[in-house]
Amino acid sequence: MGSVKVTLPDGTSKDFPQGTTAREVAQSIGPGLAKVALAAKVDGNLVDLNAPIESDSAVQVITPSSPEGLVIYRHSSAHLLAAAVLELFPDAHPGIGPPTDTGFFYDFYREKAFTEADLARIEAKMKELAEADIPFERIYFPKEEGLKLFDQMGEFLKCELIQEKAEPVFSAYRTGKFLDFCRGPHIPSTGRIKAFKLLSVAAAHWKGDENSQPMQRIYGTSFFSKKDLDDYLNQLEEAKKRDHRRLGKELDLFSIQDEAGPGLIFWHPKGGIIRKEIEDWLRAELLAHGYDMVFTPHAMRLHLWEISGHANFYRDNMFGPMDVENDRYQLKPMNCPGHILIYKDRRRSYRELPIRMAELGTVYRYERSGVMHGLLRVRGFTQDDAHIFCMMEQLESEVQDCVEFAQLVLKTFGFDRFEVELSARDPEHAEHYAGTVEEWSQAENALMNTLKRMNIPYKYMPGEAVFYGPKIDVKLVDAIGRPWQLTTVQFDFNLPRRFGLEYTAADGKPHTPVMVHRALLGSVERFFGVLIEHYAGAFPVWLSPVQAVVLPISERHTDYARKVAEELRAAGIRVELDDRNEKLNARIRDAQLQRVPFMLVTGDREAQAGGVAVRRRDTGDAGFRPLGEFKSYLRELIDTRTNKW
């Protein structure tokens, strides 16, 4: 038997006998590393610790602190879930069970529905199997032999997956009595899974196809420590309190009407005024940043989307075309072809570039019913879209301006933390992307250089780019620590070429511009949903649909209360008068429930002194204030868009 050279992440190399496992490499480094090792990466490929190393390789041991560690741990947690389900419910047929960003799930076909009581039993069985420290055993099968085995087991869903996805020799993992077709890798044994929780069960469909087999999806989560699990469960409880769907109804902000169809948002008056504030601020800033406001139709000829490539690359996310007068029209899923046509309407000179077009344009995208979620995932939404047409030498400057604009948006609306990702193409699947390797490299370098120059840390995400170019995604972090994808800055050398865009350069010859797609809010609907949850419905004064409510103590104080309301209203303050025949405390409670920032109580003393008794929604009684003084104070909070006061 020969030897192999193993190169470690620090650059050091060591010779091992051929066939040495990753576990043995970890043990050679130290018993502490071997104890916490979960899996390994050999020449960039994730493998089990028992995988043999047959040739000279770069080896990295995966531990809980590795970026891949939690993903592998949760994948193994999903297998533990399936093993527990099959022990308790032999009539269940497992489908797929992947890890997710927040945990894991497993889909099962079973005629009888799982109940909450069943989840408790399953979780208890998972703990029992974890304590038994059962190994995750990898087994290889020739395809036909494996198919025959799974068929004998009655696992028709697994047979379908093996037919579609399995190599001539494929891997499966055994966890106790559970055998799963799976590429892995997995952690060494169930005993390593210490902190987990089953969360819910929901309806699903096989492979996400609404016309296919109905499934039941059991959701769970797992962490390396009980503290991390408890922190996450506490966050979930807080998230329930902040759920924008519940608050949207309680605060009368928006609705989704069954008669109109799913995924279509109706903005109620209170939600509408918040939307107006958001859009008014954004339009003013767009003009200040050198953008031109444009408007484009909601439907255009399908031919445009064939030219752009969306009809090919994006077909599954588009509504079906409409036949109109022997022509075919398409509800727009994007605004970019419309902006391109405006650019193309006349000849352009290099002296005009960059040209920045912005539109709050409503677009329509087909989302499956199972993935729609309140304001966060809809079928019709207004995108704060912009497209910048520029020369290549202007690109980095324009991208920097976009990122700085995004930072201004976050700060203005009260977000002080964000994460940045740079999405690049998958070099192994060039067929999924438009453009040459050289162009992609040039574009990716331009985005990376911009972020480095701005000293903004970012996560590199290969394979996450859109088909027409790389992009920068900015994720804000909300009040309870959840990241939300909103802002995106996307480079595009594809569409200008497809549509034949040109500008006359300094040399007098036609050249093709490059293009930047930019959205700051992402969509007004999604941004509004995030705002609701970030503030738990208690918006800052400048965004609150009702900024103050005037509460006369009794009927005889109503005339003065009405004068107070009229004076505040004349100052541009959104104010309501609540003179219902209810006790004062009940009206105060109602205002609190509606998250009104200020409650202004008026009685004899206030009428005589020309002021109001101020109550804040957060701290309660704030004492007497002369009306003029309070009006100026409130007006300043609004004008300065103060988010904390």
Structure tokens belonging to residue 8? 């470690």
Strand-pairing partners, residue 491, are 516
In angstroms, the CA 449 to CA 578 distance is: 57
In angstroms, the CA 55 to CA 78 distance is: 32
Q: Residue 551 class from Cβ within 10 Å (0-12 exposed, 13-18 middle, 19+ buried)? A: buried
Residue pair 622/634 in contact by the 8 Å Cβ criterion: no
- Select from 612, 615, 590 the least CA-distant residue to 603: 612
Helix, coil or strand: residue 364: strand
The pairing of strands 598-602 and 548-552 is parallel
Residue pair 544/596 in contact by the 8 Å Cβ criterion: yes
In angstroms, the CA 438 to CA 444 distance is: 10
| C-alpha distances in Å from residue 57, one per residue of 4, 26, 31, 170, 425 | 8, 14, 22, 23, 25
Q: Is the peptide bond before 297 cis (omega within 30 degrees of 0)?
A: no
DSSP 538-574: ---TTT-SS-EEEEESSGGGHHHHHHHHHHHHHTT--
- Select from 565, 554, 551, 559 the least CA-distant residue to 615: 551
Q: Determine the length of the chain.
A: 645
Residue pair 176/128 in contact by the 8 Å Cβ criterion: no
Q: Which residues are catalytic?
A: 336, 365, 383, 385, 387, 471, 517
- Select from 603, 639, 601 the least CA-distant residue to 620: 601
In angstroms, the CA 500 to CA 606 distance is: 70
> Which amino acid is present at 114?
F
Helix, coil or strand: residue 212: coil
Burial 335-371 (b: 16+ CB within 10 A, else e): bbbbbbebbeeeebeeeebbbbbbbbbbbbbeeeeee
Q: Residue 160 class from Cβ within 10 Å (0-12 exposed, 13-18 middle, 19+ buried)? A: middle
Structure tokens belonging to residue 288? 């200040």
Structure tokens belonging to residue 357? 């077009």
Residue pair 377/499 in contact by the 8 Å Cβ criterion: no
Q: Report angle CA 554, 604, 613 to the nearest 5 degrees.
A: 85
> Which amino acid is present at 307?
I
Dihedral, CA of residue 341, residue 342, residue 347 and residue 349, to nearest 10: -120
- Quick one: DSSP state of residue 189? B
